[in-house]
Structure 1
């Protein structure tokens, strides 16, 4: 009976160790997931900024007035060349 107890204790210890390793692995996966989510959000913001700039450049190219973000004054290509 004592031998069974030792085996049982060893099996329990191995199971606990495996669970701890799985817990550590899942924690690392979660951290990686959070990092990737943050990277994706930053990339999405960059795409939005780039899309606004492309739209702004296109408007300027076609002679449309574009509002300067800093001064809130509408500017055209002719204004910029003055």
Structure 2
């Protein structure tokens, strides 16, 4: 079954990554681990693991974007029906 845009009903969809979340979680976590690395040097090892882990999570769960209206949504979540 093909998915369609919940807003305009178009079937013209594209997968897009969640780069903004990757930058927030990956970069923020790396900065925290970097700061903790001065207290306990073992945290230096975790920084690359954190970056690759957050990259893998966000690249493996792409969003769908409608090419006609530009709406983005998570295809794994059920759309909420609204009365108009």
TM-score, normalised with respect to structure 2? 0.31
Q: TM-score, normalised by structure 1?
A: 0.31
Q: Report 1 or 2 for greater relative contact order, CA contacts < 8 Å, sequence distance ≥ 6.
A: 2
Greater share of helix: 1
Structure number with the higher strand fraction is: 2
